[in-house]
Amino acid sequence: MIPNGYLLFEDESLLDSTVAKMNALRKSGQFCDVRLQVCGHELMAHRAVLACCSPYLFEIFNSDIEPHGVSHVTFDDLDPEAVEILLNYAYTAQLKADKELVKDVYTAAKRLKMERVKQICGNYLLSKMESHSAISFRNFSSCMGDGRMLSKIDIYIQEHLLEVSEQEDFFKLPRLKLEVMLEDSLSLPSNGKLYSKVLNWVQRRLWENGDQLDRLMEEVQTLYYSADHKLLDGALIIEEHGMFGVGAEEDHMQLVQKKPPRENSNTKRQPSSSTSGSSSPSGLASNTPKPCRREWKYIASEKTTNNTYLCLAVLDGVLCVIFLHGRNSPQSSPSATPCLMKSLSFEAQSEELEEHPLTSMHYARSGLGTATLHGRLIAAGGYNREECLRTVECYDPKEDLWTFTAPMRTARARFQMAVLMGQLYVMGGSNGHSDELSCGETYDPHTDTWAQVAELRTNRCNAGVCSLNNKLFVVGGSDPCGQKGLKNCDAFDPVTKTWNNCAPLNIKRHQAAVCELDGFMYVIGGAESWNCLNTVERYNPENNTWTLIAPMNVARRGAGVAVYNGKLLVVGGFDGSHALRCVEVYDPVRNTWRMLGSMTVARSNAGVAALGDVICAVGGFDGNNFLNTLEVYDPETDEWSDCAEALSSSV
């Protein structure tokens, strides 16, 4: 077309052809005038192209003393693959990155000020966020200073706090435990107002008293909610009225007599009537602005029991969990997570029709170790929303009574327990802070003592443990390097006290159920990364081989397993979306699985063991609450029951 005598032609293929040729020239190093040194890798490119896409590089090129020479730009903190992805994007307008690299691409895009790419990567991460990744995504967004992502992640956490609180990342966050005394006529304010007061109290302790946040987290902090609705230090009030805590089991939050607030050695406290009388921890004068404060933010909270709250907040830039318990009487002590009991439909039911629930454990426990020893059920360790536990409880079915035995040497959760040569063995797990464990210990029931055993070769939690042929086997699990699912299998000889490698699993697994049956070891379900598995493997110690057998009907991780009458019963667990009630049984003769009667409540990461003629399921997490309840399965009736009558006739 020739309007007004001028030739006008649009070649739609030229742009694509030119872009493709320029990218080919880049990859072959032709006509390149930029060398990017990225962690020892050299990437060639063209200055004009990168200057158009990256304002950061434009500023560098624009300031070059010799603009016509070859520019050298060094990055010692970026991923070379991520930078290569950005170079491809600059030449082709196509962003292609494996999901494992998206965070690295985001980081590189932020450094190069490529805002569009950063936004696209952020949107992708938000679309993939689930309860197990919310905390890590938030930590990443905080490091990147991305307020848009943080606000969206915080909204997600507010809507899914209970699910998030059951994940490993949440479990490893630092935690501040508060005990708030109330006058009889007072009650705690609503969540938002309550935690605004808590944040103000922590700020006063840090900025006015010179405390350090990690020191505040070392023990339970006792506070007092006054009649004029202020949250005050409880130490002086306790001292004035002589209120002393009653020593309870160490895993309980308990009221203790606190020392008065520590004075900073470089600071003198000024009278409170002064306008700005308290000096900062750095010793600045009262008229000097306070030092730069990092982020303080209330994110989400949940009332977990009658007067107990769980909160996720940012304190002085640190993402923390806050546990708060309010009580009216200093003599009372917060109980373990209460069990939700079924109420009777009619209060006027006759006594002979009343059913008495099985006695609950003293502590709610998830990710606990469970076994039967000398006709009793042992429940060790585990965690709740507060912390990992050392305590060990023993259940006598004849008395329907839980009692304490000697506590473990190390607080641990996400582990399994096995009986070997008349003793209990526990290996690995997590300590509730930041570490997977390599240590193990064994319990001697005759002396009621725990002793250390040879450590694992690698730190592991969520591994399966069982005894086979007078050896202790540890299978799968996850490690500190972030591998969610290992193939490792190790055997411990209690006589030589040494570990030896066995053949690896066919499939990487963590949170699998493991047990021995008829001279074979079975590894059931679990997860590879976060994808729940229904596959099952059987280990033959005679030829050191693993064989895949019939898969379960339901994919599940965090399930429990017990042996009964030559068959495997797999109980509960988590299917990736919900905690499970369902149960299925494996017949090794037919190599088949079939469903059985479901539990009375859903349980993931519960303890499961055979006791007499019944199967017991204890503790776990139902999707909302950590449990301390016990229920039993009767194979004769194919029913689960939480009533004492169901157990008394079977043991």
Q: Taking 60 as the threshold, does the pLDDT of residue 283 lie above it?
A: no
Query: What distance in Å separates the CA atoms of residue 516 and residue 510, rounded to the nearest whole number?
Result: 18
Q: What is the predicted pLDDT for the residue at 581? A: 95
Query: What distance in Å separates the CA atoms of residue 153 and residue 130, rounded to the nearest whole number?
Result: 10
Average pLDDT over residues 364-377: 95
Last residue of a domain, one of 128, 159, 184: 128
Q: Are residues 233 and 89 in the same domain?
A: no
Q: Does residue 75 belong to any structural domain of this protein?
A: yes
Q: What is the band of 29 on the pLDDT scale with cuts at 50, 70, 90?
A: confident
H or E segment and range at residue 623: none
Quote the mean pLDDT of the chain.
82
Among 391, 461, 221, 413, smallest CA distance to 320 is for: 221
Q: Taking 90 as the threshold, does the pLDDT of residue 11 lie above it?
A: no
SS3 call for 620 = coil
Last residue of a domain, one of 334, 363, 394: 334
Q: Does residue 603 belong to any structural domain of this protein?
A: yes
Average pLDDT over residues 170-195: 80
Amino acid at 291: P
Average pLDDT over residues 132-143: 93
SS3 call for 446 = coil
Q: Does residue 275 belong to any structural domain of this protein?
A: no
Q: Taking 70 as the threshold, does the pLDDT of residue 647 lie above it?
A: yes
DSSP symbol at 263 = P
Task: Give percent of the chain above pLDDT 90.
Answer: 52
CA distances from 602 to 267, 572, 578 (A): 54, 7, 9
Q: Are residues 99 and 178 in the same domain?
A: no
CA distances from 32 to 24, 49, 353, 374, 397 (A): 11, 10, 88, 77, 79
Last residue of a domain, one of 75, 105, 128: 128
**Most confidently predicted of 262-276, 290-304, 633-647:** 633-647
Q: What is the band of 15 on the pLDDT scale with cuts at 50, 70, 90?
A: low
Q: Are residues 29 and 177 in the same domain?
A: no
Q: Does residue 136 belong to any structural domain of this protein?
A: no
Q: What is the predicted pLDDT for the residue at 27? A: 80
Query: What distance in Å separates the CA atoms of residue 585 and residue 596, rounded to the nearest whole number?
Result: 7
Q: Taking 80 as the threshold, does the pLDDT of residue 105 lie above it?
A: yes
Q: Does residue 525 belong to any structural domain of this protein?
A: yes
Q: Taking 80 as the threshold, does the pLDDT of residue 354 lie above it?
A: no
CA distances from 381 to 387, 417, 512, 643 (A): 10, 10, 18, 25
Q: Does residue 5 belong to any structural domain of this protein?
A: no
Q: What is the predicted pLDDT for the residue at 650? A: 59
- Whether 235 contacts 224, CB under 8 Å: no
128 is written with which tokens?
A: 């993939």
Q: Are residues 485 and 553 in the same domain?
A: yes
- Radius of gyration for the chain, computed over Cα atoms and rounded to the nearest angstrom: 30
Count how many Cα atoms sit within 13 Å of the Cα of residue 332 in the half-sphere of its side chain.
Answer: 14
Domain of residue 298 covers 173-246+254-259+293-334
Q: Is 601 left (phi over 0), alpha (psi -120 to 50) or beta?
A: beta
92 phi, psi to nearest 5 deg: -120, -10
Q: Does residue 147 belong to any structural domain of this protein?
A: no
Which of 161-175, 534-548, 598-612, 637-651 is predicted with the least confidence, judged by mean pLDDT? 637-651
What are 469-501's pLDDT values in tens digits?
999 999 999 987 767 899 999 999 999 999 999
CATH value at residue 612:
2.120.10.80
Q: Are residues 445 and 475 in the same domain?
A: yes
H or E segment and range at residue 199: helix 191-207
Q: Are residues 324 and 361 in the same domain?
A: no
- Whether 71 contacts 58, CB under 8 Å: no
345 phi, psi to nearest 5 deg: -65, -35
Q: Are residues 537 and 389 in the same domain?
A: yes
Q: Are residues 489 and 589 in the same domain?
A: yes
Task: Please tell me the total count of domains within the chain.
Answer: 3
Q: Are residues 119 and 199 in the same domain?
A: no
Q: Are residues 374 and 418 in the same domain?
A: yes
The better pLDDT of the pair 340, 503 is held by 503
Average pLDDT over residues 525-553: 95
Q: Taking 60 as the threshold, does the pLDDT of residue 432 lie above it?
A: yes
Q: Are residues 438 and 328 in the same domain?
A: no
What are 550-606's pLDDT values in tens digits?
999 999 999 999 999 999 999 999 998 899 999 999 999 999 999 999 999 999 999
Angle, CA of 499, 169 and 531, to the nearest 5°? 75
36 is written with which tokens?
A: 């990017």
Q: Does residue 604 belong to any structural domain of this protein?
A: yes
- Whether 248 contacts 254, CB under 8 Å: yes
Handedness of CA 605, 611, 616, 618 (dihedral sign): negative
Among 86, 21, 97, smallest CA distance to 57 is for: 86
Q: Are residues 86 and 203 in the same domain?
A: no
User: Burial letters for 176-200: b for 16+ Cβ neighbours within 10 Å, e otherwise?
Assistant: bbbbbbbeeeeebeebeebbebbbe
CATH value at residue 62:
3.30.710.10
